[in-house]
Amino acid sequence: MDRPSMKFASETEGARPIHVLRPEDFEAWSVNQTEATRIWVSALAFEARAGQTLVLPGTDGAPSAALVGLGAKARNGRQRFSVAAARAELPAGIWRIATHLPGEEMAEAALGWLLSGYRFDRFAEAKTPKAMLVAPDGVDAARIEAIAAGEALTRDLINTPARDMGPADLAASAQALGKAFGAEVVVRSGAEIAEGFPLVQAVGQAAGPDRGPRLIEMRWGQSGPRVTLVGKGVCFDTGGLNLKPGASMGLMKKDMGGAATVLGLAHMIMALGLDIQLRVLIPAVENAVSGEAFRPGDILPSRLGPTVEVNNTDAEGRLVLADALALACEEDHDLLASMATLTGAARVAVGPDLAPFYVDDDDVASELMASGRRVRDPLWRMPFWDPYETMIEPGIADLDNAPSGGFAGSITAALFLRRFARPSPRYVHFDIYGWNPTAAPARPKGGVGQGARALLELIAGMA
């Protein structure tokens, strides 16, 4: 979907300046202004606090410039949010950032501006901001637009109701993305799933033929490092026979947030033309309830071979990912990453903003943490704690999909997945939330990509 509000202005003539200020810089800026401007600023109590925006009138009374407060430098964690918040308060027209900001801060401000133009308008008209920004000097405008477009795709996919985003619809979205960038997309279904991906089949078989399970595979690029992305595509999760309570089911359209995030990341990679060999794998299912549903107590085979005892049908994400990871590891790769809205335990541990990740390789962990800090995509490393391996070994099958006791839920889920990603020390698993519970500048309430920009930074460094 083309979104002009998420692109930079194509015209630059007549662009009005935006002065981005901190309290410690405000006085120096003020002394160079006219008396009339100083009176106006004082009367409206602008002090360059974080989130403050003030439009300055010209001599004819029309808007001529704007001030945006960043707040004190020591407290300023996400500068781009202030500029993003300002967009909604600016009148229509073309604007430019007139203040010199360090390169990363300027890129953040520009990305925040574009992300603030996102609206989910598939089912109802939404007002998009009319203020447009000239691409700031010194930033990679094409890169920023590609990241914004990838994030918009992720948000659209998550925000779409399950009625319109079942396994077949998710596959169609992947095919459309592949067509846009010349990628090869193969969608497995029916007998291919039943015969080759038994865990995917077990989880998805209750949904009926029109919403039956799929395994989506995308390939792009002919040279460079081999990067495989695996995304959980549970298009709706009732919990299965271990039915979720109503209050927990309302947001379950977002349970394909991992798939949405890897597709958004794939968009970024392909739009930027990174020199890598990209492979994307998405097990797409609906965890439904019917006479065909898999049951607590069932012991299921897997593509890799280990059998799995089902102790909770609501721990289905790790099952479908297991078969996809097994397929991923049938080919060599330089980096393997899975992304999934996998456990409530991760949300309890770090809340909705941080994306916890697991990896054995300390160098990859350090690079990811550094990448997340650079691009303000917050991550937190969690441990593959080997002593907890015993929790996922029930005794009558090789593995248990939902250990009893409630301890270390996110860690045990990650350990379960690692069993199917071996041998791969450069395997990274992200246990994301994929949803903004409250609106913030550049981050409206609803679906959101997490970890994608940090992972993009890491992958770009490999290319």
**Residue whose entry in the numeric block shows the structure tokens 């391996």:** 389
d(CA 111, CA 130): 16
Structure tokens at 399: 């593995």
- Active-site residue flag, 244: yes
Helix crossing, 257-272 with 452-462: angle to 10°? Answer: 40
- For 389-406, give the DSSP string: GGGG--SSSSEESS-TT-
Q: List C-alpha distances in Å: 126 to 5, 210, 341.
A: 12, 31, 27
How many Å apart are CA 288 and CA 243, to the nearest integer?
Answer: 9
* SS3 state at 51: coil
Sorted by sequence, the CB contacts under 8 Å of residue 424 that are 6+ apart come out as 329, 333, 336
Query: Is 179 tagged catalytic?
Result: no
Residue 455: CB atoms within 10 Å? 31
3-class DSSP state of 426: coil
Determine which one of 244, 373, 374, 381 is catalytic: 244
Identify how many contiguous H helices and E strands the chain contains and give both numbers: 15, 19
Please, how many CA atoms are within 13 Å of residue 411, restricted to the half-sphere of its CB? 16
* DSSP output for 297-354: T-EE--SSS--EE-S-TT--HHHHHHHHHHHHTTS--SEEEEEE---HHHHHHHTTT-
Choose, from 303, 318, 376, 419, the residue flagged as catalytic.
318
Query: Which residues are catalytic, by number?
Result: 244, 318
